[in-house]
Amino acid sequence: MSQIQIRFEVPNHYMSVNAFVASAKSAQRALNTLNRELFDDQLDLELVVFAPEPGSVRQILKVVVKGARATAWGVAGTYGILWTVVQGLETDIAKEVVKELTGKLPAQIAADVVSDFRERIEQANTEKEREELEKAATEQACKEIAEVMSQASSSALVVPRERLERLPVSEKTIFELSDAQAEMFEGCIADPAISSVEIENNGHPPIPRHEFPRRAIRPKRPDPERDENEEWRVSLETITVTSPNLEEEDQQARQWKGKTANDKKALFTVEDREFWDRLHQKELSFSENTEIVAQVATRFLDGRAKQSKVLRVLKFEGREIAQPIDENGLKAILGELKSVTTDDGFGHLLG
C-alpha cells in the first residue's frame, strides 16, 4: 500500500491547519529528496491527499508513480525508462538506504515483475498485444515503486536523526531529510493539542510530545566554503537578559543582550523553537533582568569568538522548561564541535 498515514493524537476531533500542512509538505520534501538521490529525479511522482475516515484526525497521503521521465539515460519509451528505474532499486546504495529507513530490503521488483512480463512481451504475436503487456507491466512497476517510496519517505520523517546520518547518501540529501523531519515537528510543537504523532503501518512507534523538540532541531546546512579553522563550542550558561528581542525574524539585525554569571556582556540569538512557541502562547514573559539557563553554541574562527546562539532554554526564572540537546543533536545542528565548561563560555569570550 503506497499510502502515508500520519496519525495525530489529539483530545478533540481537530488540529491546527499549520501543523497539518507542515507534515504534508515534509512528506513531499522527503519523497522528492529520495527520488533525486536514488533515481536521479527520474520518477514522475505525485503526492495526493486521500479523504480521511469520517470523524478522524488522520492525514492520509498517497504516493502515485505516474511513470518515468525521459532524460540522458538514453532509454527509449516510458516502458524502457521505467525498467531502468526499477533496476535502480536493486543497486547496493538503494538497498542500504531503504533497509536503514524501513528495516527491510526493497521487494525484488526487478526479479519478480520483470521476469513475469519480459518473456511474455518478447513472445507477443502482435504489436497490440505487446503494447497491452507493456502497459500492464508499467502499471505494476509503478505500483511497486510507489510502495517502496512511500515506506522510505514516511520513515524518514520519524526515524531518529542518527539513523538519517548513517545513510550512504550525499551530505545534501541527509540535510534535506533531516530538515523535512524538523519542519514537520516544528508544526506539531506549535499545536499544543497534539500529544503524539505516528506514521501508521510502517513499524515505527508513536512519537510522544516530549520528543518533539529533539525532532524539531534544524540540521546544519552543508557549507562547501566552511573555513577549516572554524569550530563550535557548546556551554551551559546562566544569563541575565538585559535587552530581549521578542521579534524572532529581527534577531540578525538586533541581537539579544545579557550578562553571564561572571558579569560579562553577551550578544546572542535564540534558535529554540519550543521557547519561541511558549513566548507566542504567552506562557513566558520577560521583566527587568529576567534570568535564564541556556545551552549556548559559540562559533570560533582562528580562536576568536564570532557568533553565539542559544540552542535550548533550559530554565526560565528558575523553572525548568526543557532538557539539554544531546551530543547527537548538537552534531546534527553544528557539525563538528568542541564542548567546553561554563568557565570558558561565550560571555567570557565576547565580553
Banded pLDDT at 97 (limits 50, 70, 90): confident
pLDDT tens across 228-278, in order?
Answer: 667 888 989 999 998 898 888 888 778 898 988 888 888 899 999 889 988
CA–CA distance from 10 to each of 57, 78, 192, 209, 227 (Å)? 8, 44, 9, 11, 46
Nearest CA-CA partner of 64 in 50, 83, 79: 50
Query: For 279-289, how does the pLDDT look when each residue is reduced to its tens digit (9 = 90+)?
Result: 988 899 898 88
Give the residue carrying C-alpha cell 551530505: 171
pLDDT at 303 over 80: no
Element (H, E) at 313: strand 304-316
**Per-residue confidence band for 111, with pLDDT thresholds at 50, 70 and 90:** low
87-96, 197-206, 339-348 — most confident range: 197-206
What is the model's pLDDT at position 50?
Answer: 72
Q: What is the value of pTM for the model shown? A: 0.65
